[in-house]
Amino acid sequence: MQMEHIAIYGAAFDPPHLGHMDVVQQLLQQFDAVWLIPSAKHAFGKQMSDYQLRLKMLEIITTEQISERDRIVISTLEQDLLEIAPNQKAIFSFDLLNEVQKRQPQSHISLVVGPDNAKPDVWKKFYRHQDIERDFNLIVAEERLPIRSTDCRKLLRTTNDDLSHFTGAGLAGWLRKNNLYI
């Protein structure tokens, strides 16, 4: 049996945007599967929109933007782990990776981080970062589309401008229709 190479790409995805999808496209060139794992309880305390909404947004944008959708897993693993231990402060990347490895023992697991989290002063704040480096492959995503979820939310709150150049037409329409981030 051939070992599967899985990229674990976690983020708030609040909302997901074309920058995220560009990273997914890059990862699909290197990995057999890409798992998108929305944060359930952010390790750095970031406040996020409703978890189910963020899952729905990921479904919309990946369906529209990713042709190899069968190689994408939108995973609720962080939420599942939080339900097991509801008093946990956060779900840490180290714990998430170990759980994926436990569930996929024949797979090679890589953690994907953005250039912002790869900066040494940020990376060293990651819980058990040295163990992640020892036990898993660390991939720093190339940011080719400098789009921020913060900018998407601001645009939704302050203008009626077309958002499709940030999120794609399908998600832009859905966000406007549902008056999200207003």
89 against 52, higher pLDDT: 52
Cite the beta strand spans of 54-146 per DSSP E.
Answer: 72-74, 107-113, 137-140
* Residue 98: band (very low, low, confident or very high) from pLDDT cuts 50, 70, 90: very high
The string of pLDDT tens digits covering residues 60-94 is 999 999 999 999 999 999 999 999 988 888 889 99
More confident residue, 51 or 87: 51
Distance (Å, whole) CA 144 – CA 27: 13
Report the pLDDT value the prediction gives residue 44, as an integer from 0 to 100: 81
Domains, the chain, ordered by start: 4-144 (3.40.50.620)
Q: State pLDDT tens for residues 138-162.
A: 999 999 999 999 999 999 999 989 9
Among the listed residues 48, 108, 123, 106, the one whose alpha carbon sits nearest the alpha carbon of residue 78 = 48
Task: Give the tens place of pLDDT for each residue, 1-42.
Answer: 678 999 999 999 999 999 999 999 999 999 999 999 999 988
